[in-house]
Amino acid sequence: MSPDQEFIVNPDPEDWWSTHRGASPIVGTAIHNGHHIRSDLHDFLGLSADQRLREEDPFTEFFIRDLPNRIVFHRSRFEIDINRARDGAIYLKPEQAWGLKVWAQQLSDAAIAASLSVHDAYYAMLETYLCGLEQQYGAFVVLDVHSYNHRRDGPNGSEMPFDKAPQINIGTSSMDRERWAPVLDPFIDQLRSFEFRGQRMDVRENVAFQGKGEQTRFVHERFPNTGCAIALEFKKFFMDEWTGEPDIEALKAMREMICLSLPVLRETLRARS
């Protein structure tokens, strides 16, 4: 995959994540965007880089670039998946990873501990980061951006049925839905109003996914009255999920769509205070 450099990030292989902090109560995260595996694990891997990339969420970082507040995780989810609870954050069994055997050799206790320390450090950082937003604005929104495959039967296979695969799935299972409806519902309406290639965006709630990831759960547990974490799963219509080739027009459109939603989120948050 060799898209224009505008659409990808190239972190140092030793970087865990990067953060930006600006004047806004809204933060975007791309915590499955990363592809790097730390060097001491390479000999243990049972998957190729292309196999890993297919289950990662490339280009999700690009969608959130217009947010002053951004967190991008640079490690591959196959090293440590920070969107899973700590005890399941390393894919030690195929059933944890879409049937894939991630490790050709058993990981040592030291290797596992090193990966889990990144999970611990991330959530310590996230809590501090969000405390700053809470202190400054009183309440905040986290746009937790992910993507999902919809051609699992092969590059020439059929797509997932329409009723099971919205272009954008909004996951809210860990959210106090009633509390945050005045923020969430206008946000969903704004996304649905966006036109791409002559059609309005297909945005549905809790269809393909229910928003059961660790990050949204963490936000709603630690900040029950002030933190609204919205899980967005984009169907990979913006790329070829088998080759990794991006659809540049679609990438730019999705970035624009997210950008256009920010005033709505700011206004609805302000109205709550």
Residues 77-115 have pLDDT tens digits of: 999 999 999 999 999 999 999 999 999 999 999 999 999
The whole-angstrom separation of Cα 130 and Cα 132 is 5
Percent of the chain with pLDDT over 90: 88
pLDDT class of 22 with cuts at 50, 70, 90: very high
- The C-alpha atoms of residue 135 and residue 195 are separated, in whole angstroms, by 36
* β partners of residue 229: 142
* Cα distance between residue 125 and residue 71, in whole Å: 10
Q: What is the mean pLDDT of the chain?
A: 95
User: How much is the pLDDT for 13?
Assistant: 87
Instruction: Tell me how crowded residue 244 is: count the other CB atoms within 10 A of its CB.
Output: 18
Position 250 confidence tier, pLDDT thresholds 50, 70, 90: very high
> CATH number for the domain including 179?
3.40.630.40
Percent of the chain with pLDDT over 70: 98
Residue type at position 126: L
Answer yes or no: is pLDDT of 1 > 60. Answer: no
Segment 244-266 mean pLDDT? 97
Range of the domain at 80: 5-272
Q: What is the predicted pLDDT for the residue at 156?
A: 83
Amino acid 6: pLDDT: 79
Residue 5: the pLDDT is 67
The token pair at 212 is 């059961």
pLDDT in tens, 147-187: 999 998 888 888 889 899 999 999 999 999 999 999 999 99
User: Do residues 258 and 143 lie in contact, with contact meaning Cβ atoms separated by under 8 Å?
Assistant: yes
The model's confidence at residue 4, banded by pLDDT at 50, 70 and 90, is low
- Total structural domains in the chain? 1
Q: Helix/strand/coil (H, E, C) string of the chain? A: CCCCHHHCCCCCCCCCEEEECCCCCEEEEECCCCCECCHHHHHHECCCHHHHHHHCCCCHHHHCCCCCEEEEECECCCCCCCCCCHHHCCCCCHHHCCCCCCECCCCCHHHHHHHHHHHHHHHHHHHHHHHHHHHHHCCEEEEEEEEECCCCCCCCCCCCCHHHCCCEEEECCCCCHHHHHHHHHHHHHHHHHCEECCEECCEEECCCCCCCCHHHHHHHHHCCCCEEEEEEEEEHHHECCCCCCECHHHHHHHHHHHHHHHHHHHHHHHHHC
